[in-house]
Amino acid sequence: MKTLIVSVGLLAATAFSAFAAEPAKMVDTKMGKVLADAKGMTLYTFDKDTMGKSNCDAACLKKWPAFHAAAKAKAEGEWSLVKAADGKEMWAYEGKPLYTFTGDKKPGDMTGDGVGGVWHVAK
């Protein structure tokens, strides 16, 4: 009986973790589906990043804040964690670190797309 209870508990824990919320969501925009944070702010990728590594330095992060992960966040599926220049963990989607843009003032803004030819909405 004790084994059965432990097994059911493990099964339930596994099932609930499979339904853990993803760190960002896909939203419909005039540019098609793009990634946005929980507040609806557009997420961006930086062409100068390498797979699984952020190359946005401290000065860059002032204009392009890292999409930070919660303290106990766990990578899963196409979502991974990388270190930002500020030393904190940030989310990456399919190996590409994600950022917001200080020029975006409200959910749905995408004013950072194409900046410097190296910033793009994350899709």
- pLDDT for the residue numbered 21: 73
pTM recorded for the entire structure: 0.83
Q: What is the pLDDT of residue 22?
A: 87
Query: Taking Cα atoms as reference points, which of 37, 55, 38, 62 lies closest to residue 97?
Result: 55
Residue 20, pLDDT score: 58
Higher pLDDT, residue 12 or 73: 73
Residues of the chain above pLDDT 70, percent: 84
- Order across the sheet with 89-93: list the strands: 79-83, 89-93, 96-97
Number of H helices, E strands in the chain: 2, 7
Whether pLDDT at 12 is above 70 = no
